[in-house]
Structure 1
């Protein structure tokens, strides 16, 4: 799977900017009653900072399983923004968008960010690397407010003890039929494309995290969309969110 930024989409950039302004307004509103004299301010420890990560859902979608539609419905029902592969790639590759995102972070955010970011530092993790920028972007977004993330291994980037990690899947035959119906190609072409995408995603996960794409221990919840309707899957997810304490 290519690891380079996509072309700039003005509509997507505008939507991202509006979301970040909304987060900033919400942040100011939340913190106003808690303002106190400078001398009384205490420095938070990394453990305390980690508690301030916003609630999130990551959804790993096997191509053709219907997870994207499910994630969109979930985000709409929760009232949370949704960040898919296209948006995350755009944000990771667009310097202006990333600069605006970083400006929205205060000192407490940056302290948490630096502490969490250290876990990804290794020999291949270069400053100009796409994965470096993707990781920065996902971690920054996690500080802004509740969100739904689709793909891009967000479940492996965000703090393991936070949020809800979902894997959506279906049988190979079901996914091939769904892919063919969505794209207008024949079943043979669909099977080839599904297998190519599966292989590219597996390569990305193995290369960047040294994990196998089929490792189910990454996830809190597995949903077979060949066996459950979208409505049923939503109810299952909301029950899990309540158990995880992600709903107010």
Structure 2
């Protein structure tokens, strides 16, 4: 695992431990934004710019996967909550499993615990990993970022140094994998707009404008 990711996780745990020691109550007032995105739609840029504008912590794929893969870290994360908060997270996980008729394996149980622990602490922008489904019962704004295929293909070409054909194949493959992930772990459909509070098209909205709209929705 990348050492800088370890450092980010350690620093996050320390911040939450300090919050716990100060007995800060953030359950009802916490703000969380989940961002789901089509591949190449600039969803990550929106998440990064939003976290910066709000001064929130950003939890992207690498950080979340590192937390999930290291089950010891997942336990440490859960323990940054008080006893009531820990019990609430476990109840939320059990409710999600029951409501979505899931057959949870070890990965999915840790995934749900990690995401709900982040949600309980708040002040977070969570990118991907089905956070909008995992945090169904937490005060969160659920955002979906989309864009026309032509724009997404161009973004992927420039970012990955690919030709148009290979960029298209990567788009299709990545979106299919994300859809399968959500179907497997949440028994849900990423394409259903009812799963989101906002659906923003970066084909017509610049990243900065998308961030402004999300901020306005939080007000």
Q: Compute the TM-score of the two structures, normalised by the length of structure 2.
A: 0.92
- 3-state SS in 2 of match to 1:117: helix
Identify if the C-alpha distance between structure 1 residues 201 and 145 changes in structure 2 by more than 3 Å, giving closer, same or farther.
Answer: same
- 3-state SS in 1 of match to 2:129: coil
Whether 2:35 is the aligned partner of 1:59: answer yes
* Alignment root-mean-square deviation, CA: 1.9
- For residue 102 of structure 1, report the CA deviation from its aligned partner: 2.4
1:90-137 superposed Cα distances (whole Å, 9 cap, x missing partner): 1011133223212312211112112211123356213x2x12211111
1:6-55 superposed Cα distances (whole Å, 9 cap, x missing partner): xx222101111111211221333354xx9xxxxxxxxxxxxxx9x53721
- For residue 148 of structure 1, report the CA deviation from its aligned partner: 0.4
Instruction: Report the counterpart of residue 246 of structure 1 in structure 2.
Output: none
Q: Pairwise mapping of residues 1-248 of structure 1 onto structure 2 (< 5 A)?
A: 8-31=1-24, 51-52=27-28, 54-121=30-97, 122=101, 124-126=103-105, 128=106, 130-160=107-137, 162-242=139-219
- 3-state SS in 2 of match to 1:70: helix
- Taking the aligned partners of 2:209 and 2:121, their CA distance within structure 1 comes to 30
- Taking the aligned partners of 1:123 and 1:196, their CA distance within structure 2 comes to 25
Identify if the C-alpha distance between structure 1 residues 80 and 195 changes in structure 2 by more than 3 Å, giving closer, same or farther.
Answer: same
Unaligned runs of 5+ residues in structure 2 are none
- For residue 159 of structure 1, report the CA deviation from its aligned partner: 2.9
Unaligned runs of 5+ residues in structure 1 are 1-7, 35-48, 243-248
- Taking the aligned partners of 2:192 and 2:117, their CA distance within structure 1 comes to 26
Higher CA-based Rg: 1
- For residue 211 of structure 1, report the CA deviation from its aligned partner: 1.8
Note if contact 1:53-1:143 (Cα within 8 Å) is conserved in structure 2: no
Identify if the C-alpha distance between structure 1 residues 212 and 137 changes in structure 2 by more than 3 Å, giving closer, same or farther.
Answer: same
Runs of 4+ with deviation above 4 angstroms: none
Q: Compute the TM-score of the two structures, normalised by the length of structure 1.
A: 0.81
